Chain A
Amino acid sequence: MIEIKNVSKSFDDKEILKNISAVMETGKTNLIIGTSGSGKTVLQKCMVGLFEVDSGDIIFDGKDLTTMSEEDRKELRQQIGMLFQGSALFDSMTVEQNVKFPLDMFTKWNHQKKMDRVNDVLERVELKGTNKKYPAEISGGMKKRVGIARAIVLKPKYLFCDEPNSGLDPQTSMVIDKLIHEITKENNMTTVINTHDMNSVMEIGENILYLYQGKKEWEGNNKEIIFNKSARLNEFIFASEFLKDAKDMRMLEEKGIIDNDRNMEQIMRDGGSNLVIGDEDRKE
């Protein structure tokens, strides 16, 4: 479990994060959502220690990252895996070498044991047979999978994913979401995902934190999000491609959020701002 307590962060005079508190639960996919510039990436980078917070605490299972010594921080980081937006694979290394790198650096295993582990994780992310390829030779979706394989090769307790679906088609995005969700469950990890993809939110959002201009605006899960009463969150939800997806529209219909009488084109034109979901909108 990761607890975020009253975290604030500024760059120069601009306050990016304003007194944010939240809990990222173990064994769940915790999503940080919000528009571009809302502070998602800064919050995640503060959580992994790439940025220092101005005030507040970030507590990993009882250990406060903000007050840790450099040595303790190094130790903690070995329990953290991270998938970057652009995958951040080492260009000069093959897929196999990329995944093996953390094992080479932090274990004293023999070559065979390392290779067994590398092959295991590559098989888990369905990338068997790509060992000798370089990052430039594989697709964006495959790069993300290699990134996931590298992130989980040391069996971390915490997995961070920054925009795992950026640049991917919807189908591949779903596969990546599913993979992250399954890996989280299999390894009982605390997974934190930054995203603005509403499909991901609905598919794997077990715990959701919505940021608006650096402030926590709403938190809940994917079952509660469509019943939320935050006008800003609704604007965010319905401004996305979400409603264009017939499946999601059907789901909303089934849940009674919308009905056929409602003019969907009008809703989309207004960016969902007029869609205040309250009791009267629900058809029980």
Chain B
Amino acid sequence: MKLFSSIGAYLLMMKGMFTKPENFKMYWKELMHQSVEIGIGSLGIVAVISVFMGAVSAVQTAYQLTSPILPKETISQIVRDTVILEFAPTLVCIVLAGVVGSKIAGELGNMRVSEQIDALEIMGINTKSYLIAPKILGALITIPLLVILAMVLGIWGGRLAGSLGGILSADTYDRGLLENFVPKNVWFALVKAYTFAFIISSVSSFYGYNVKGGALEIGRASTIAVITSCILILFADYLLAFFIL
């Protein structure tokens, strides 16, 4: 029963965002602020994770491909497809659910508990559209860009690990990257990125916006937001793979 009422409240929150902005310039400013917070704020962690996931992927693929019949180029093809199809969109978004999701839930939760949201409401501002919509739009703008960056850095990380570890030369790696490339995979990864970006930002906003209580509840809301986002990301990942691939 609680699940249905939560879904209902979530849908009502989403519906409540669609109103005419009181001042478009202020909303634009908030959107830019959130885009910087989410995008630039997560750049470092995404870069580090991406390079290492590509590197590990290359090393482990080489370890498993022991057959001399298989050409070395296969390693870079596997790294490329794994990074594009799964690691860059899903793994990075799982990490972003922790980084961005807890930040959004914590920020909104603190604003709720300290009556800052009430203060905005009293001023006549639609807090759903002023506080939540820029976060969702900011995430929809920046997270797919971060995923694209993760793809590039992940593939580059594999190349680096391959050449530094003497697994395969950079030339062989590059040659493998160009073989059997399926552009649809990039498109599929972007569909996943947009879906996950929406899940992370909207679910975290929902839990943060509806915090009741004090500091303890803010922490609890952040944790629930991250857990729920991760579960929904994995669930959506399966559904998208099932229906699109």
Contact = CB atoms under 8 A, between A and B. Distances in A.
Contacts of B179: none
29 contacts: A50-B121, A73-B124, A74-B22, A74-B124, A76-B124, A77-B121, A77-B124, A80-B122, A82-B119, A84-B115, A84-B119, A85-B115, A86-B114, A86-B115, A88-B114, A88-B115, A88-B116, A88-B118, A88-B119, A89-B116, A90-B119, A91-B110, A105-B22, A105-B26, A105-B123, A105-B125, A106-B22, A106-B23, A106-B123
Interface string B117-156: 0110111110000000000000000000000000000000
- Chain B interface extent, by class: 10 to 19
A188 to B, nearest CB: 20
Interface in A9-23: none
A102 B123 contact: yes
Interface in B82-114: 110, 114
Contacts of B110: 91
Interface string A64-107: 00000000011111101110111011110000000001101110
A46 interface: no
Contacts, number: 50
Nearest to A78: B124
Nearest to B23: A105
Interface of B: 22-23, 26, 110, 114-116, 118-119, 121-125
A7 interface: no
A212 to B, nearest CB: 26
A23 to B, nearest CB: 21
B96 to A, nearest CB: 21
Contacts of A89: 116
A48 interface: yes
Query: Which of B22, B110, B121, B124 gathers the greatest number of chain A CB atoms within 10 Å?
Result: B124
A89 B118 CA distance: 11
Nearest to A77: B124
Query: Which of B23, B110, B116 gathers the greatest number of chain A CB atoms within 10 Å?
Result: B116
A121 B46 CA distance: 45
Contacts of B22: 74, 105-106
A48 B120 CA distance: 12
Contacts of B116: 88-91
A104 B25 CA distance: 9
**4 A-B pairs closest in CB distance:** A77-B124, A88-B115, A88-B119, A74-B124
Contacts of B114: 86, 88, 91
A75 to B, nearest CB: 7
B107 to A, nearest CB: 9
Query: Which of B26, B110, B115, B122 gathers the greatest number of chain A CB atoms within 10 Å?
Result: B122
A134 B227 CA distance: 33
B30 to A, nearest CB: 11
A158 B114 CA distance: 22
Contact of B124 (A88, A91, A101, A106): A106
A50 B121 CA distance: 8
Nearest to A135: B114
A74 B22 CA distance: 10
Contacts of A102: 123
A50 B125 CA distance: 12
A91 B117 CA distance: 12
A76 to B, nearest CB: 8
Given A76-B124, A102-B123, 4 more contacts: A48-B122, A50-B118, A77-B121, A82-B122
Contact of A78 (B26, B119, B123): B123
A30 B116 CA distance: 24
Query: Which of A76, A78, A88 gathers the greatest number of chain B CB atoms within 10 Å?
Result: A88
A77 B26 contact: no
A255 B35 CA distance: 65
Contacts of B26: 104-105
Given A105-B23, A105-B26, A77 B123 contact: yes
B3 to A, nearest CB: 20
